[in-house]
A = this chain, B = another copy of it.
Amino acid sequence: MSTDQLSVTFAALADPTRRAILAHLAQGEASVTELAQPFAMSLPAISKHLKVLERAGLVTRSREAQWRPCRLEAEPLKDVDHWLTQYRQFWEQSFDRLDDYLQELQAEEKKKGRKHKT
């Protein structure tokens, strides 16, 4: 796996168990066993998933007696949201065909360029 922040975040999100854990944490803090409860999966497996989320900065943990309460951290998700902005035009253009037209124009340019070279 790549080690840049965005790659680590996307990789962490690429698992339904981990996304379900985040959804749970969106309701507030929770302990590891609480988070594990909905899954047909051993506790160590959940522990590993939490470590992945933690490495991605999506979860932080405190200590409280023998519990490690987990808490959602949204910062990496904000980064994903920001990364997405460069593509928003591609699904928001439907009501305004200009961007679409510009894209096709560029595609045409490319095609012509290639043919000249060949």
Contacts and interface: CB of A to CB of B under 8 A. Distances in A.
Interface in A57-80: 64, 67, 69, 71-72, 74-75, 77-78, 80
Contacts of A19: 6-7, 83
B29 A1 contact: no
**What is the oligomeric copy number?**
2
| Chain A contact residues: helix, strand, loop or mixed | helix
Interface residues of A, number: 47
Interface of A: 1-2, 4, 6-8, 10-11, 13-16, 19, 22-23, 26-31, 34, 64, 67, 69, 71-72, 74-75, 77-78, 80-81, 83-84, 86-88, 90-91, 103, 106-107, 109-111, 114
